[in-house]
Chains A and B, each alone.
Chain A
Amino acid sequence: MSSTSTAPAPDVPLAALAATSLSPKRPGGFFSKPSGWLSVAVLVVFVLTGVFGPMLMERPGGLGTDILQAPSGAHWFGTDDLGQDVFTQVVWGTRISLTVGVVASLIAIVIGTALGLGAAYLKWLDPFVTTITDVMLSLPLLPLMILVTALAGPSVTTLVVVIGVLSWPEVTRLIRSNGMVVAAMPYIDGARVLGAGAVRIITREILPAVMPLIVVSVLLTAARSVISEAGLSFLGMGDPSSWSWGRILLNAQRSGTIATAWWQTLFPSLAILLLVLASTIAGVRYNDSRDPRTKGM
């Protein structure tokens, strides 16, 4: 009720303080801890594999005579029931899994950020966005994804769109709640008095303040998208003509060798685990390095 006192500096929210750490010589930067550079190194390896791997290796074919071989010098990750090299499959799968993860994550981020920021600043929009977000979050996503993919026909594009369009609610929630903190800052009022319109305030004042969160969201959503992609591919919703990690698992399951040829499921699963772990840690590390309160910890 009392409008005469506002909280002093100590309560300035994280997002608003983030900029104070912009100076280049700050301690506690992203790479100052192993979790920072290690996770990025892993991500870089995955990206390089995804981009250049398929150029250096032949597409896995079914002509091999080495069937169901355990990992060895000739076949690092062993071979499957058709004699296809699992390592080659994992390398080829990296490209599809990464693409689906990144593009789906970008779709989710664009939708999620736009709705989240709009809801944070525009009072009339907020109830609608909140309701839709809640409904989306309460839907059983996996059955829905299966249904839509089955109806649209399995392809990489379908996967990307389905995963992207169904993954934005978490982003919206995150961006909305943090955007509301920024929207309540007095400097937003200051911009309004100067005559700034809603679009200018959202894009020039609030968006930069929540940018660090968006970066984190991209990484976390990409990780979840990779898992979704693997799950859908494993359930046979992937593109049958392209390789992905989930498809390797599906093949293992289909051929009935899943119980005996452990290498056929272990290595694609490890790839998924490593990628998800690396991007999650990178996201968390980025968030920590931006927060002045946990800096240097």
Chain B
Amino acid sequence: MAMPDVVLSVENLTKHFTARGSLLRRSPHVVRALDGVSFDLRASETLGIVGESGCGKSTLARTIVGLERPTAGRVTLRGEDVHAARGRDLRVLRRRVQIVLQDPYTSLNPRRTVRDLLLQPFEIHRDLLPRARREARIDELVELVGLNPDHLDRYPFQFSGGQRQRIGIARALALEPEVIVCDEPVSALDVSIQAQVVNLFQRLQRELGLSYVFIAHDLSVVRHISDRIGVMYLGKMAELGDRTDVYDTPRHPYTSALLSAVPVPDPALRGTRSRRLLEGDPPSPVDPPSGCRFRTRCWKAQDVCATTEPPLTAPDPREQAFACHFPMTQPATTAS
């Protein structure tokens, strides 16, 4: 496979939230939501990001689109730093990276009609489209995401969750972005609707050549839509590689444990597969473990894991990168 061009590049992205100490307790808590995450997103590619609650997935999404300023590291869109841009450059960059938010019930202003919601991007970026052509563009967008243009004058509460998410997608598409960050776009939807919305994302990618950063905690959804997958744990990337590599031969113990927790839809196969249950919860990102962050729950952990942090590297460049001193050697999912 030839190296496709990189659209979005995340370099050593770090975001620490400071919970200020009170007057009596001076030492401030630092929540290390993101601690040095790097990846490249190629054109027309979907990068799935999975991980437990609190591992920094949403912070990653918010930082990429500029809702949060990174503590360190850079996000570059075709070489331009997203967070260093100001004024006009910033507006243009903003246009090229859009986000689809998680909760379709609260991510649309309840006081605006669908038409107003879709006109808003053009009111903010007045130079994008002359006023006369905006209505036509809105009709086009609505049809693109599979909604009825006759319903443009309805309010969001008159739509179902899936339809609202389509409105959210249409709004993200309005500015013709290159990259769409999807922050758990389907987790608030019914399972039957999830499939429709995921298929919509795939169709839009084919038609418009979009690149997605697709964040979810549902492994099956991510597997369905992603070309490559990144597994996050406590603000760091544990494993990053092609979908088949990560899913079929996970190298990081955390990935393997995560995958073994996916339910098997076939009752005949149930019980034939070893399931590895991790003990406890992820440690607090305020005070992460030394060395490898996963070592407190890892069954393979040894002394070196507490002292030396394993870097994210790919020993075999054709396979995925992982951050582990004692990687899994064979497909864990087939063992019985």
Contact = CB atoms under 8 A, between A and B. Distances in A.
Interface string B52-96: 011001110010011100000000000000000000001100110
Nearest to A12: B106
B58 A4 contact: yes
A187 B53 contact: no
Nearest to B103: A6
Q: What is the predominant secondary structure among interface residues of chain A facing chain B?
A: helix
Contacts of A194: 94, 98, 120-121, 124, 171, 175
Contacts of A189: 62, 67, 99, 101, 107
B110 A193 contact: no
Given A19-B111, A194-B94, A209-B111, A185 B106 contact: yes
A205 B105 contact: no
Contacts of A190: 99, 101, 107-108, 168, 171
Contacts of B175: 194-195
B67 A192 contact: yes
Interface residues of A, number: 30
A9 interface: yes
A45 B284 CA distance: 64
Given A194-B124, A195-B94, A209-B111, A3 B103 contact: no
Contacts of B124: 191, 194-196, 200
Contacts, number: 97
A1 B109 contact: no
A186 B106 contact: yes
A194 B155 CA distance: 20
A190 B105 CA distance: 12
B111 A6 contact: no
A192 B98 CA distance: 10
Contacts of B94: 193-195
Nearest to B125: A195
Nearest to A8: B105
Nearest to B65: A193
Nearest to B97: A193
A8 B44 CA distance: 33
Interface string B38-60: 00000000000000011001110
A4 B58 CA distance: 6
Q: Nearest 8 pairs between A and B by C-beta?
A: A3-B58, A19-B111, A186-B107, A195-B94, A2-B53, A2-B54, A4-B53, A187-B109
Interface of A: 1-6, 8-9, 12, 16-20, 22, 185-187, 189-196, 200, 205, 208-209
